[in-house]
Amino acid sequence: MEMDKQSGLTSIPYGKTLGRVSFVLIVVAFAFYAYRFIERTSFVVDGQRYYALFDDAMISMRYAQNLAAGNGFVWNAGGERVEGYSNPLWVVFMASFHLLGLSASQISRYVQLAAAVILMVNLWVVWNIAKEFSKHWLLPLLTVFLTAFYFPLNNWSLQGMEVSALVLITSGAVLLAVRALKADTFSYWPYVLLGLGTLFRIDMAAPLGVLTLFMMILDRARLRQHLIWGVATGLVFLGSQTLWRLAYYGEWLPNTYYLKVGGATLIGRLTQGLAAFAQFVWTGNWLIMIIPLVLLALRPGRETLLLFAIVGGQMAYSVYVGGDAWEHKGGANRFISISMPLFFILFPLALERIRNALLEIGKQCQRWVEWGSYAVVAGIVFVSIFSLNTLLERDSFQKWATIKRPIFVAGTERYVGMGLTIQRITTADASIAVVTAGNIPYFAERTAIDLLGKSDKVIARTEPQVQAGNFDFDDDFRPGHNKWDYDYSIGELQPDVVAQLWGDTSAAMPYLEADYVQVEIDGIPYWLKRDSGNILWDVVKAEE
C-alpha cells in the first residue's frame, strides 16, 4: 500500500483497475443521460418530431444555414453583413451539419449529439487532471461524477451553445499547464489551445489572460517565455479575427459588443454582475461553495493555485460583464460553467483534508471517527449534488433528472411552431419582426428584423432602455435584451409580420393600430400588415 501525499488517502493495489472500470461506467451512464436529455428537448409539431436548440444557439444556426448555402456569414440571405454572433468557429461547426442534406427538423439533433461526445471527451480530460492531484482512485472519480451530471454545464452544451467546446478547451489547457508545472518545464500548448478557444468565443481571452499572468507568477524561472507566448497568442488569434471582421463586416468589434456594452456603465455592470454571482453562490449553498477555500489555508501547491486562478477568473469575468441574460433561471451561467469541472477537482480534495482533520482530532477513538468522517464527507457530497444543480424553479430536480423537460424547451417548442406558422401564411418575400431571433426566423425561412438588435447595427448602437444595476433579472436588465426602437424597426422598416414585442410597447402601438391587423393562430397573436401582398390572407383566414 502507498500513502497519497496530496489527498492523505491510502492507495490500494487494485485501485487503478477499479478506477478505470468505474470511470468507464460513469461515462457510459453519462452517455445514456445525455441521449435521454436530448430526446427530452424534442417535441412533435403537426405530427412530426422536431429537434431545436436553445434560441440563442439557433441564431448561430441561422448564420450557419446561410453559410452552408453559400450566402456568407449573414443572418438574412442577401441582407446586410452584421456580426450578430460571438462564436465564429462554432458557426462553422454548425454549418458542416447543414451540408449533410439533413432536414431542418433533424439537424439540431446531430449538433446536440456532437456536443454530448465533446462532453464525454472532457470527462476523460478532467479525470486526468484530477489524477495529477491524487493517486487514489476515488477522488478523481468523484470529480468526474460531479462534472458528468452537472446540470448547468449539460444544459448549455446539450441545447446547442458552444459551451461544450469551451469547457473541453479550458480543461485541456489546464491539464497541459498542470503537467508542465509538475515536470518543471515549459509548454506552449496551453496558450495555443486557449487562443483557438477565442475563435469559438472571444470571451476565451479571459482565461488566456489569467493563465498567462499566473503561469508567470507560479513559474518565475520561465516568466519571459510565458509572457511572450501569452501575449503573442492573444495578438495572433484576436488580431486575425479583428482584421477579418474589419474586412468582412467593416467593424472593429462584434455587433454583440456594441449591443451589450454600449451605453452601459461600468458601475452598473459590476453591480448587476455581483448580484448575479451572489445569487449563484446562495442558491448553490454558500457553505458548499466555500469548502475549496480550505485548500488555500493549507499552503497549496502551484498546480492548485492555478486551478483557483482559472475558476476565480471566470467568476470575475462574469461579474465584469454584468452576468448573463438568463440569470433569472439560476445556476451557473455560461461563463462560470466552463470552469466548474476545476471546482469539482478542488471540492473533493478539500473534503478529504477536512476528513483527515477529523481523524487527527479523534485519534483516541480512531475507528469510530474514521467511519464518522466518511459519513460526513458522504453527506456533504450528497447535499452538494442537489445544491449545485438547483435552479430558481420548484421543479429543477425533475428537470435535472429529465423527468420533466429541461429549461427553455417549452419556449423553443412555441418558437418553432411560430416559425412554421409564419412560413405557411406568408410568401418567401415576407419580412418578420422578432424578439427571439433564432428558432422563428430559422424555421420560417423569411427575412427577419431583430427587434433587440443582435443582428441590427442601428439598434445595437442606441442607448439602453433599461440600465444595469436594477437586480430584477426576470423583468428588468438582461444583457443583450435592453435595447429596442420601434420607431425604427416597425415604423421605418415596415415588416409584413410583427411576431413579438418586448419591453415598453407604447411606441409600437400607433404603428400597429394604424397599419396592422391582429390575428390569433393556435392561441398566439400576430400583427399582419394590412396592405401587404406577402401575406397569404386566404391561408390566414383558414388558420384562425
- 102 vs 110: CA distance, rounded Å: 9
Do 1 and 12 meet the contact criterion of CB atoms below 8 Å apart? yes
* pLDDT at 10 exceeding the cut of 70: no
The pTM (predicted TM-score) of the whole model is: 0.92
Per-residue HEC secondary structure of 264-277 comes to CCHHHHHHHHHHHH
- 112 vs 162: CA distance, rounded Å: 11
Do 453 and 482 meet the contact criterion of CB atoms below 8 Å apart? no
* pLDDT at 3 exceeding the cut of 60: no
Tell me the DSSP string of 297-336. Answer: TT---HHHHHHHHHHHHHHHHHHHTT--TTGGG-S--HHH
What pLDDT shows up at residue 375? 72
- The residue assigned the cell 518565475 is 220
Kind of pairing between the strands at 431-434 and 447-450 = parallel
What pLDDT shows up at residue 144? 95
* pLDDT at 461 exceeding the cut of 50: yes
* pLDDT at 500 exceeding the cut of 60: yes
Q: How does residue 82 score in pLDDT terms, banded at 50, 70 and 90?
A: very high
Sign of the torsion formed by the C-alpha atoms of 120, 126, 132 and 135 = negative
Domain residue ranges of the chain, discontinuous segments joined by + = 2-40+106-400, 409-543
Span 85-111, pLDDT tens digits: 999 999 999 999 999 999 999 999 999
Among 139, 137, 141, 143, residue whose Cα is nearest residue 15: 137
Q: How does residue 481 score in pLDDT terms, banded at 50, 70 and 90?
A: confident
Grid cell, residue 435, equals: 424578439
What pLDDT shows up at residue 526? 96
Our CA dihedral for 127, 159, 397, 284, rounded to 10 degrees, sits at 60
The 3-state DSSP class for residue 446 equals coil
> Among 20-34, 99-113, 394-408, whose mean pLDDT is lowest?
394-408
- 436 vs 326: CA distance, rounded Å: 13
Q: How does residue 364 score in pLDDT terms, banded at 50, 70 and 90?
A: low
Q: How does residue 366 score in pLDDT terms, banded at 50, 70 and 90?
A: low
| Stronger pLDDT, 384 or 346, i.e. the higher one | 346
What pLDDT shows up at residue 348? 87
What pLDDT shows up at residue 368? 60
96 contacts: CB under 8 Å, gap ≥ 6: 68
> Among 3-17, 437-451, 500-514, whose mean pLDDT is lowest?
3-17
Sign of the torsion formed by the C-alpha atoms of 305, 209, 197 and 51 = positive
* pLDDT at 1 exceeding the cut of 50: no
Among 431, 485, 479, 432, residue whose Cα is nearest residue 461: 485
The 3-state DSSP class for residue 459 equals helix
Q: Which amino acid is at 404?
A: K
Q: Is 402 left (phi over 0), alpha (psi -120 to 50) or beta?
A: left
Q: Which residues pair with 497 in a beta bridge?
A: 432, 528
Span 190-224, pLDDT tens digits: 999 999 999 999 999 999 999 999 999 999 999 99
425 contacts: CB under 8 Å, gap ≥ 6: 497, 521, 528, 535, 536, 539, 540, 543
Instruction: Identify the helix (H) or strand (E) that includes residue 524.
Output: strand 524-529
Whole-number average pLDDT of the chain? 90
What is the distance, to the nearest Å, from the Cα of residue 66 to the centroid of all Cα atoms in its chain?
23
Sign of the torsion formed by the C-alpha atoms of 318, 323, 326 and 329 = positive
What pLDDT shows up at residue 509? 95
Mean pLDDT of 301-316: 95
Span 237-279, pLDDT tens digits: 999 999 999 999 999 999 999 998 888 788 888 988 999 999 9
Residue 169 CB coordination number (10 Å): 27
